[in-house]
């Protein structure tokens, strides 16, 4: 199976329709022309999102290697340019207890320190390269969607302060209303003091400009249609040219096709995430809901909602869901999210929705992010599978895989959470049905006072 969703999801000619697209000028394709002849480079990178652009920047700027990026659409066309703009920690579907059981306290602590470093790396790159990212908020708020879920925040607080060594605060419902917002579905919160919000499209476009400025080449509309290796060279065939490279980085995340490389097939499960944004809210409308924060928020549901106030006063509201990816399912998702927005924030019921879009996040069989090289070909590297939280981790992983390619670091220096082998899903043709079953279970759990 090459793709799991409707062809619309992979159509690079279809407008994404995201709010973020309205905040930047159209991509300057004179800088990102398609690969229209046979070319040679030191390192070929497949995927022009956050991971691929970060890898290209660190290889070109810091190692002076000749790098070319092959992007099937335009830079940041995929999830990198259409996510919610949460530059925060996460990137695994394993809970805290599972992380400790599988990897031990030392490696789990190391993983969360890497995540913290990843958040700061985004700020560092933005500062060094002069990228305006519209940074907002301080940390990330986890909102208990029921009173009984508030108890789970206490154990999360203990883990994050003792194992991860993050600065955190527990808020009662009254403190939450004082510092953040009011909602009939908010029963206290945990403020995690690592993270912030940003404009992901501005960040990605800034990364692309930095890659270009430091001598890298980005080829838009240059999907890899076939891949072979001859005489020690990788030959990546695109619609109008072939790129020859000694080393290759795969950075395609949720848009990785099973057919791209034998060692990637059946190992990833892309899942849809949907977002709506409102028109800009007035000061009076924000006060009516008691909204007092620019810090990103997500709730304690398994099928979580994530939301934040944007720089121009719009409200962004996101949700996982969907297993088809066609227009009819999208219409249902938009209607559902509009209704739930009004239920969670009654003062904004009926508020105008200006944008709806979705994109693919990426789950691995191990439920962890992955960085490494192929077991059967150490000249092929990958950084992939961020489980819906890839802004910071994708940036950090791009730098990490660049260091592996350059030979300045070895994979054994990576935290063991990142070094898990890319395993196949059992009965991979049933991946969508696994997802449907999981959504049914999560929906039931989220509706119960657990």
Over the stretch 32-68, which tens digit does the pLDDT of each residue have? 999 999 999 999 999 999 999 999 999 999 999 999 9
**What integer pLDDT is reported at residue 26 of this predicted model?**
83
Task: Print the SS3 string covering the chain.
Answer: CCCCCCHHHHCCCCCCCCCHHHHCCCCCCCCCCCCCCCEEEEEEEECCCHHHHHHHHHHHHHHCCCEEEECCCCCCCCHHHHCCCEECCCCCCCCHHHHHHHHHHHHHHHHHHHHHHHHHHHHHHHHHHCCCCCCECCCEEEECCCCCCHHHHHHHHHHHHHCCCCCEEEECHHHHHHHCCCCCCCCCEEEECCCEECCHHHHHHHHHHHHHHCCCEEECCCCCCEEEEECCEEEEEECCEEEEEEEEEECCHHHCCCCCCCCCCCCEEEEEEEEEEECCCCHHHHHHCCCCCCCCEEECCCCCEEEEECCCCCEEEEEECCCCCCHHHHHHHHHHHHHHHHHHCHHHCCCCEEEEEEEEEEEECCCCCEEEEECCEEEEEEEECCCCCHHHHHHHHHHHHHHHHHCCCCHHHCCCCCCCCCCCCCCHHHHHHHHHHHHHHHHHHHCCCC
Cα–Cα distance between 183 and 175 in angstroms, integer?
Answer: 13
Q: Is the pLDDT of residue 2 over 70?
A: no
Over the stretch 201-218, which tens digit does the pLDDT of each residue have? 999 999 999 999 999 999
Mean pLDDT of 135-149: 96
- Into how many domains does the chain fold? 1
Cα–Cα distance between 246 and 85 in angstroms, integer?
Answer: 34
Mean pLDDT of 407-421: 96
Q: Is the pLDDT of residue 28 over 80?
A: no
Burial class (CB in 10 A: 0-12, 13-18, 19+), 75: buried
Tell whether 119 is covered by a domain. Answer: no
Beta bridge partner(s), residue 384 = 370
Cα–Cα distance between 217 and 45 in angstroms, integer?
Answer: 10
Its pTM stands at 0.96
**What integer pLDDT is reported at residue 450 of this predicted model?**
37
**What integer pLDDT is reported at residue 3 of this predicted model?**
84
Mean pLDDT of 99-104: 98
Tell me how far CA of residue 36 lies from CA of 76, 234, 240, 241, in angstroms: 21, 17, 5, 5
Tell whether 348 is covered by a domain. Answer: no
- Which structural domain, as residue segments, surrounds residue 219? 7-83+201-268+366-433
Query: The CATH number of the domain where 383 resides is what?
Result: 3.50.50.60
Beta bridge partner(s), residue 271 = 361
Tell whether 189 is covered by a domain. Answer: no
- Residue that the structure tokens 């000749």 belong to: 66
Mean pLDDT of 299-309: 95
Cα–Cα distance between 264 and 423 in angstroms, integer?
Answer: 9
Contact 217, 52 (CB under 8 A): no
Over the stretch 395-412, which tens digit does the pLDDT of each residue have? 999 999 999 999 999 999
**Sign of the CA dihedral running 11, 14, 18, 21:** positive
Tell whether 384 is covered by a domain. Answer: yes
**What integer pLDDT is reported at residue 448 of this predicted model?**
54
Mean pLDDT of 233-262: 97
Mean pLDDT of 237-262: 97
**What integer pLDDT is reported at residue 446 of this predicted model?**
79
Confidence of residue 443 (pLDDT cuts 50, 70, 90): confident
Q: Is the pLDDT of residue 342 over 60?
A: yes
Tell whether 322 is covered by a domain. Answer: no
- Residue that the structure tokens 């082998």 belong to: 421
- Residue that the structure tokens 């059967």 belong to: 376
**Sign of the CA dihedral running 73, 25, 201, 419:** positive
- Residue that the structure tokens 């939301």 belong to: 307
Confidence of residue 449 (pLDDT cuts 50, 70, 90): very low
Tell whether 217 is covered by a domain. Answer: yes
Tell whether 2 is covered by a domain. Answer: no
Tell whether 340 is covered by a domain. Answer: no
**What integer pLDDT is reported at residue 444 of this predicted model?**
83
**What integer pLDDT is reported at residue 1 of this predicted model?**
44
């Amino acid at each position: 199976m090459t793709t799991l969703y409707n062809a619309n999801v992979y159509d690079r000619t279809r407008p994404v329709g995201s709010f973020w697209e309205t905040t930047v000028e159209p991509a300057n394709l004179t800088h990102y022309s398609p690969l229209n002849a046979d070319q040679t480079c030191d390192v070929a990178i497949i995927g022009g999102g956050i991971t691929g652009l970060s890898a290209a920047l660190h290889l070109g700027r810091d190692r002076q290697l000749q790098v070319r990026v092959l992007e099937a659409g335009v830079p940041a066309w995929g999830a990198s340019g259409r996510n919610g703009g949460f530059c925060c920690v996460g990137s695994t579907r394993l809970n805290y207890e599972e992380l400790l059981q599988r990897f031990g306290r030392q490696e789990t602590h190391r993983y969360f320190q890497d995540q913290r470093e990843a958040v700061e790396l985004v700020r560092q790159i933005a500062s060094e390269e002069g990228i305006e990212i519209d940074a907002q908020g301080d940390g990330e708020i986890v909102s208990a969607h029921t009173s009984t879920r508030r108890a789970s925040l206490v154990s999360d607080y203990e883990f994050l302060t003792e194992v991860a060594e993050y600065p955190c605060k527990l808020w009662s419902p009254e403190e939450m209303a004082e510092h953040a917002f009011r909602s009939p579905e908010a029963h206290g919160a945990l403020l995690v003091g690592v993270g912030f919000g940003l404009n992901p499209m501005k960040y990605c476009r800034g990364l692309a400009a930095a890659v270009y400025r430091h001598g890298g080449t980005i080829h838009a509309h240059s999907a890899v249609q076939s891949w072979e290796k001859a005489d020690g060279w990788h030959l990546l065939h695109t619609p109008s040219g072939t790129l020859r490279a000694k080393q290759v980085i795969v950075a395609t995340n949720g848009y990785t096709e099973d057919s791209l490389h034998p060692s990637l097939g059946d190992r990833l499960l892309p899942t849809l995430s949907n977002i709506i944004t409102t028109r800009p809210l007035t000061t009076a409308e924000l006060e009516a809901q008691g909204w007092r924060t620019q810090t990103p928020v997500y709730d304690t549901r398994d099928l979580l909602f994530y939301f934040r106030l944007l720089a121009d006063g719009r409200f962004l509201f996101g949700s996982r869901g969907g297993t088809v990816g066609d227009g009819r399912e999208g219409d249902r998702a938009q209607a559902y999210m509009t209704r739930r927005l009004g239920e969670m924030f009654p003062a904004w019921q009926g508020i105008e929705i200006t944008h709806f879009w979705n994109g693919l996040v990426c789950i691995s069989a191990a439920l962890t992010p992955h960085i490494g090289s192929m077991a059967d070909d150490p000249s092929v590297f990958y950084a992939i599978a961020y489980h819906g939280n890839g802004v910071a981790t994708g940036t950090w992983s791009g730098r990490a895989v660049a260091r592996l390619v350059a030979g300045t670091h070895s994979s054994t220096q990576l935290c063991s959470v990142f070094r898990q082998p890319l395993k196949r899903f059992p009965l991979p043709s049933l991946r969508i049905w696994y997802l449907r079953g999981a959504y049914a279970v999560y929906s039931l759990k989220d509706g119960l006072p657990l």
